[in-house]
Structure 1
């Protein structure tokens, strides 16, 4: 009898890219029917947020010690800033007649399957209810009204995914990319909250069914077929340093039972020419039940000040996904590289302040140009206890030479690995023209066979690490980009892995960007500015 874990593993195997074949996707792209990247609900009251673009005094290095940042008051100006720095627009790009938006949170293919909701029981901030955030308009749509008063006023942020947005371009592999994006979004939310002296608590104990009910995602008649939203994460916002009350899910459910709901989701695509039923199947198999609350104690790490210690809000807004790298650029400084590595280790700074589990993902680096570091393949174990297990699983030809760093970092193979990195990443030069690229190696079968929903959690962790790399690259004066296209089993073959115990789930690359002068960059919210009469 097939189990949920079997279904998830089957999906994972089926959606691997191979050297001789890619995972199933659309044979052509219907560009005239590309899903609208901005979800809106018709028939909802809108709540304007203060004009975006405000800056904060917090520097990026200040986020290394979030307890030192003065908490800002909870009011609409600051709430709007939280949403903007997490999910808002960062710029527009234009090439000829084509124009598209960039956001503070990255997305595979810039398709943005992630949607964000505010749930408020705090009448002093906003009328209690559920609100959907529209990044294009930087406003809230009121989806529901709560009747009654909460004993413990609070604000929550819920995240969901529209699988269709990714599947339109990426076919069956899209479910993976949606989970990456959720990890990026959680990390982005954590960073943004820390800029305000606030903290995000991930309420990992709640089930998908509860999140769907609280956000109104289970109201099937409110959504177009094939454009439903899948529940993912639910977080509580803390705006002061007082010990938080325990989360009362029953109280929130009671408020929802008497809520009045408004609005219908507007159609994202007029056609759905291709259908990918395997995505619906894996989404059901990987549903998350209610679990015991987990809170991991994170170690305190001292990080060096980054070489480009800009205002955190400025750095978040300038984050971009590099499209090309300068393959002849100078090496990046070793100090910058080591800071990036340190920031990827579990610690008491964001976004790990919003992460509840011990590390399950370790990083294999393809180093090309880092000052003072020999080119080659390296491993950064994010938990020292994983080292003997990885040594046993990986190729016996690896040297496992421990490097002279304040943390465990091993050279596996010395030499030029640029061609290998490029080939493994679907022949993309971004993996070889950069200063380094990497693969995220997850403790796979033990997790998925224990609980099928952990498949999604592994991808969330990868996305969270990707967001760290994005911002740390900007703070080093360079740029990064996520790589979702790689030849899964070819990566495993290079590492000498023989089974599903370890799987590479996400790749990333960092280097000196090669800018395209043909592209225009336009302000993020010029369209909201009042026009002169």
Structure 2
């Protein structure tokens, strides 16, 4: 509705960082009072999950992109546990000078992890039908409700929600953006983990936010009486089967009528401040029920095959870089392989089989790519995106197709220039954007999407987050590293690119380079405290 679109536009404008002032946020942070990164439902029945055996063979990253090369694993509790471990689970612990913190397979802005994961299980061997909350710290499921979903075939629905205060505590009003980016990263994480099990992933975001809340028990006020609320995000169906029917309407009815157990813990007993604007944008961008999107029949193959690395190893070793070595060149083939990985291929990681057409396009600040001149480049991810970018970006740009790239990779030179200082300045003066091999600004088709449905505001960030997840893993696979950048000067990005209206909006920044690793920080195993669990 027009008023909802107006709220979205106002929120995006108010939460834009500028060279004159940052978006409203806390004046100071006390890291000893950081919100609890783990949501618990005290009193719920807990089901311990087995851990993946480190010696278990893993398909290679390259195999994920060859249809039929990974045999579909049975849909059972053991394989569900593997899926959760490889998508939302802890990948390692870090320790330094008495402090200890967890890293997860799904990255998060500020490592604050607002994304919560739920399992809706029906007919899964070893697990009673019902709704469960996933605890990554102890790798277990908390049974929120035992619900008989009927006698159909086995089905696995994954639900995602956000605790916005986890990000709001640090980032203030801009936090809602980061929650949506994190949701996109989580979808990408599930896509890679699912493919490693030979499973397919479908996006079920045609269901309304109210229905998602009902199915996951997020609307149970008694469960959150003294705890921060979770906003419903979306549902995914993950399956070894080619296609499945939509979620029956009776499932939502049974969930509403069911008894729910477990009391949500309070993640911040002494919150400092509040950000009502986040509640406003969450309400304005809530999802109404829409028509389901049909899965695509085919996906184009990769132009450049991924490197031969074990997928499970790659997922566990993914990290966010803190510093880059500004002297190292990224090989051209590896750079092109990363760009190839973010093109829209429904049904191949990181994209669900029924993902929407691309609405996000890339501008690349190329600093250090072997054999490729420094400059500003464009990677439109659709023919429509190419036309939009050519219409909206600066008239003086060259739009010269890069001959070094494969014919079907739409990489265009815009201008030859040393853009290191520009990338650094635009990314809130962060050196990592200039020290990288390349930096990315992701532009979303803002006006058309928001005018169609205010929920598209979430979708644009989610799409950008999925792209970021692909860049993370592809960079890691070739010995480099990525890092997402949510802090950038929105109007200055637009001015640099010649954007004069909001047809295209900058939604996310990302960088890739050779990491400088601090050897003083100790790395510890993810689940040493439960490693004997099988």
> TM-score band, normalised by the shorter chain?
over 0.9
> Alignment partner of 1:3: what SS?
helix
- Say which is worse superposed, 8-17 or 115-124, in terms of deviation: 115-124
- Say which is worse superposed, 37-46 or 116-125, in terms of deviation: 116-125
1:219-234 maps to which residues of 2 (within 5 A)? Answer: 219-224=220-225, 227-234=228-235
Question: Contact (CA 8 Å) 1:201, 1:237: kept in 2 or not?
Answer: yes
Q: CA deviation at 1:465?
A: 0.2
1:291 is matched with: 290
Q: 1:516 to 1:248 in 2, by over 3 A?
A: closer
| CA–CA separation in structure 1 for the residues paired with 2:520 and 2:147 | 50
> Alignment partner of 1:23: what SS?
coil
Q: CA deviation at 1:173?
A: 0.3
- Say which is worse superposed, 368-377 or 222-231, in terms of deviation: 222-231
1:13-32 maps to which residues of 2 (within 5 A)? Answer: 13-32=13-32
Q: 1:148 to 1:294 in 2, by over 3 A?
A: closer
- Say which is worse superposed, 216-225 or 15-24, in terms of deviation: 216-225
Cα deviation, 1:189-222, whole Å, max 9, x if unaligned, reads 0110100001111112111110100000001221
Q: CA deviation at 1:150?
A: 3.6
Q: CA deviation at 1:480?
A: 0.3
1:253 is matched with: 252
| CA–CA separation in structure 2 for the residues paired with 1:65 and 1:12 | 40
> Alignment partner of 1:240: what SS?
coil
| CA–CA separation in structure 2 for the residues paired with 1:269 and 1:489 | 33
1:335 is matched with: 333
Cα deviation, 1:22-65, whole Å, max 9, x if unaligned, reads 00000011323211001111010100111245443300111112
- Say which is worse superposed, 66-75 or 168-177, in terms of deviation: 66-75
* TM-score, normalised with respect to structure 1: 0.96
Q: CA deviation at 1:127?
A: 0.8
1:495 is matched with: 497
Q: What count of residue pairs does the alignment treat as equivalent?
A: 527
Q: CA deviation at 1:258?
A: 4.1
1:181 is matched with: 182
2:485 is matched with: 483
> Alignment partner of 1:317: what SS?
helix
| CA–CA separation in structure 1 for the residues paired with 2:150 and 2:290 | 28
Q: CA deviation at 1:305?
A: 3.0
Question: Contact (CA 8 Å) 1:164, 1:226: kept in 2 or not?
Answer: no
| CA–CA separation in structure 1 for the residues paired with 2:531 and 2:206 | 42
> Alignment partner of 1:481: what SS?
strand
2:123 is matched with: 122
1:378 is matched with: 377
| CA–CA separation in structure 2 for the residues paired with 1:355 and 1:101 | 33
Q: CA deviation at 1:529?
A: 3.6
Q: CA deviation at 1:422?
A: 0.3
Q: CA deviation at 1:66?
A: 4.1
1:422 is matched with: 424
| CA–CA separation in structure 1 for the residues paired with 2:238 and 2:205 | 14
| CA–CA separation in structure 2 for the residues paired with 1:199 and 1:45 | 29
Q: CA deviation at 1:365?
A: 0.2
> Alignment partner of 2:188: what SS?
helix
Q: CA deviation at 1:257?
A: 4.0
2:51 is matched with: 51
1:190 is matched with: 191
Q: 1:528 to 1:299 in 2, by over 3 A?
A: closer
1:353-502 maps to which residues of 2 (within 5 A)? Answer: 353-404=352-403, 405=405, 406=407, 407-502=409-504
Cα deviation, 1:260-288, whole Å, max 9, x if unaligned, reads 21011011111122100000000000000
Question: Contact (CA 8 Å) 1:74, 1:125: kept in 2 or not?
Answer: no
Q: CA deviation at 1:359?
A: 0.4
| CA–CA separation in structure 2 for the residues paired with 1:359 and 1:200 | 17
Question: Contact (CA 8 Å) 1:147, 1:259: kept in 2 or not?
Answer: no
> Alignment partner of 1:194: what SS?
helix
1:97 is matched with: 98
Q: CA deviation at 1:427?
A: 0.6
Cα deviation, 1:237-275, whole Å, max 9, x if unaligned, reads 21234xx23213313124324422101101111112210
Q: 1:240 to 1:138 in 2, by over 3 A?
A: same
| CA–CA separation in structure 2 for the residues paired with 1:32 and 1:261 | 33
> Out of 502, 523, 526, which is 1:524 matched to?
526
- Structure 1: gaps of 5 or more residues: none
| CA–CA separation in structure 1 for the residues paired with 2:490 and 2:354 | 26
Question: Contact (CA 8 Å) 1:367, 1:378: kept in 2 or not?
Answer: yes
2:110 is matched with: 109
Question: Contact (CA 8 Å) 2:427, 2:485: kept in 1 or not?
Answer: yes
> Alignment partner of 1:411: what SS?
strand
1:136 is matched with: 137
> Alignment partner of 1:413: what SS?
strand
- Say which is worse superposed, 407-416 or 1-10, in terms of deviation: 1-10
| CA–CA separation in structure 2 for the residues paired with 1:148 and 1:189 | 23
Please state if 1:69 is matched with 2:70.
yes
Q: CA deviation at 1:514?
A: 0.5
Cα deviation, 1:225-247, whole Å, max 9, x if unaligned, reads 57110111101121234xx2321
Question: Contact (CA 8 Å) 2:443, 2:505: kept in 1 or not?
Answer: yes
Alpha-carbon RMSD:
1.6
| CA–CA separation in structure 1 for the residues paired with 2:472 and 2:149 | 43
Q: 1:254 to 1:62 in 2, by over 3 A?
A: same
Cα deviation, 1:441-474, whole Å, max 9, x if unaligned, reads 0110111122111000000000000000000001
1:511 is matched with: 513
Q: CA deviation at 1:68?
A: 2.0
Q: CA deviation at 1:387?
A: 1.6
Question: Contact (CA 8 Å) 1:64, 1:303: kept in 2 or not?
Answer: no
